Amino acid sequence: MSATWTVTDVPDQRGRVALITGANTGLGYQTAAVLAGRGARVVMAVRNLDKGRTAATEILRSCPQADISLLRLDLSSLQSVREAAEQVRAEYPCVDLLINNAGVMWTPFSTTDDGFELHFGTNHLGHFAFTGLIINSLLQQAHSRIVTVSSLAHTQRSVIDFDDLQLSRKYDRVAAYGRSKLSNLLFTYELQRRLVAAGQQTSALAAHPGLAETELTRDFPRWLRWAINAASPILLQPGDKGALPLLRAATDPAAQGGQYYGPGGLGQRRGAPVVVASSRRSHDQQLQAKMWQVSEELTGVAFPV
């Protein structure tokens, strides 16, 4: 498997439908632009349709032949998730790629419309529910893929207390984000195991961008945003480079279900995308199964696998 993989290695995507959450900015936007340029029919699932239109216009400016449509999806609302999924099932009965990318990071304490802590509810439960509600559209396509975006932060203060999933006892924004990103991996590995057991050709993979320039820092304390901006030429890689692990997981013919892609450089912070290791906790099968069960109970969404 090549360790020098770049955007030029993305195969022809003509005839494929790619649905990307959070596609109006950051990694999602970069991923959408590349897939559209390779001929995919790209569905940009966004919370704010005005921002989505602006992003779509930018892609069309550089790639006039791009086939792009918008889908309103607010992952912090299960009602919105269900409405978006219903639209997908009606308009896109066959989906080749689902890239679960949207998310929030280090926000002050708040809850979703359904009362879940915002990181856990948006980053994990929203994507869990959305995937489960549209997965039949993916199962219709041989070799379809579900790529969920995690983070290096999945190792940071990420012990999961099932007795306090909403962090009501003591809120820690770093722990809340880390736990949500660990949940993304638990979901991916459990989903892949279930797909294999059901004899399905759809695969579940995960990816992370390393340290990349995105808008996720918008909720950071002001002093931290200033420090990151000052150090960005040294610490961060550009957003288009951060999107490469997502793109490789989604399109590399050699990629396999259950793999986790990230930058191959020191500490997985930057570099060309390769298969990387995730934490021991993320591979705990009992934890994976428990998170799956709790996620089904909280969202009311049961998968057909």
pLDDT tens sequence across 123-141: 999 999 999 999 999 999 9
Q: Nearest-CA neighbor of 256 among 102, 147, 121, 111?
A: 147
Candidates 29, 92, 177, 261; catalytic one: 177
Range of the domain at 180: 14-299
Task: Kindly compute the dihedral angle of the four CA atoms of residues 121, 210, 100, 56, in this order, to the nearest 10 degrees.
Answer: 110
Cα gap 305→302, rounded to integer Å: 9
How far is C-alpha 186 from the geometric centre of its chain's CA atoms? 13
Percent above pLDDT 90 for the chain: 87
Give CA separation, 52 vs 23, 28, 56, 153, in Å.
7, 11, 6, 27
Residue 231 scores a pLDDT above 60: no
Predicted pLDDT at 227: 47
Cα gap 233→41, rounded to integer Å: 34
- Tokens found for residue 240: 């288009």
Predicted pLDDT at 237: 77
**Greater confidence, 270 or 22?**
22
Q: Is residue 153 part of a domain?
A: yes
Predicted pLDDT at 166: 93
Mean pLDDT of all residues in 105-124: 97
Cα gap 303→289, rounded to integer Å: 13
Q: Is residue 97 part of a domain?
A: yes
Q: Is residue 5 part of a domain?
A: no
Q: Is residue 227 part of a domain?
A: yes
DSSP-based three-state secondary structure for 262: strand
Predicted pLDDT at 241: 93
Are 107 and 118 within 8 A, CB to CB? Answer: yes
pLDDT digits (tens, 9 = 90+) for 49-87: 999 999 999 999 999 999 999 999 999 999 999 999 999
**Is 177 among the catalytic positions?**
yes
Residue 104 scores a pLDDT above 90: yes
CATH (domain of 121): 3.40.50.720
- The answer to which of 91-105, 219-233, 250-264, 276-290 has the lowest mean pLDDT is 219-233
Residue 233 scores a pLDDT above 90: no
Q: Nearest-CA neighbor of 301 among 85, 141, 113, 43?
A: 85
Cα gap 5→207, rounded to integer Å: 14
What's the domain count of the chain?
1
Predicted pLDDT at 211: 86
Predicted pLDDT at 244: 97
Q: pTM above 0.85?
A: yes
Average pLDDT, the chain: 93
Q: Is residue 151 part of a domain?
A: yes
